[in-house]
Structure 1
Amino acid sequence: MRVDHAGLATEDATTMVEQYTGLFDCSVAHEESFDGMEIAFLDLGNCYFEVIEPREDGAISAYLDRNGPGIHHLAVETDDIEASLETARDLDIDRIDEEPRPGAWGHDVAFLHPGSTGGVLLEFVEH
């Protein structure tokens, strides 16, 4: 496993993407509209920043209302998302997703509840 990306919630993805691509001399690897959000993945070489701007009410807009802009989640790449979820079950870690679901960029994803992971919303992602 390795860190795949950090999800960054913002109310203005365009500005954040412009700022971060300049600051880190990186490029946009992928952009899409997905599940009521505008998403851009910035390629940092060994991992990505996923810039997320909500376009409708949902989890990201609720996060922004509660916390303001910032790090929303940390994603870990796995070669076997089912086995990773099984390990979480065996360790009695609460899961938001009991089964993998479609995520951005065509990846399968599953989230673990931050109440069981030290306050960090963790995402398993399988490419």
Structure 2
Amino acid sequence: MTFSQSISYPKQINDSVVEITAEQLKKTNLIFVEHKSLKSENKELHFQIEKYKDLINNYNQQDSINSIKIRELTDYSKFANDQLTIKDKEIYKLNKLKNNYKIFTICGITISTVLGVLLICK
């Protein structure tokens, strides 16, 4: 059996001529292959972008939480420093009172001793 093809090259379609050489066909096929690979790469890049957006949102949430913690710890530190200053002043006053009591005790003993010696000497 034999078959023959009656289509002549270049083929004429509705007043236009389509002519593709082997080299042009090879380039066209390469373009389509590249387009297909770029489409799949584009999908992967979009997926990565979404994951990076999720990661950034997570970092922003962590940053907000850490900022709140820092603010709370700073406030607590100021409160603790104020309480420490108040306690230091109270301790200073108590020490001053103790020193005053010591001075009054020493002066009282001294005056009593002097008065006792004067009474004995008279």
Greater strand percent: which structure?
Answer: 1
Q: Relative contact order (alpha carbons < 8 A, sep ≥ 6): 1 or 2 greater?
A: 1
Scaled by the length of structure 1, what TM-score is found?
A: 0.12
* Greater share of helix: 2
TM-score, normalisation: structure 2: 0.13
Larger radius of gyration: 2
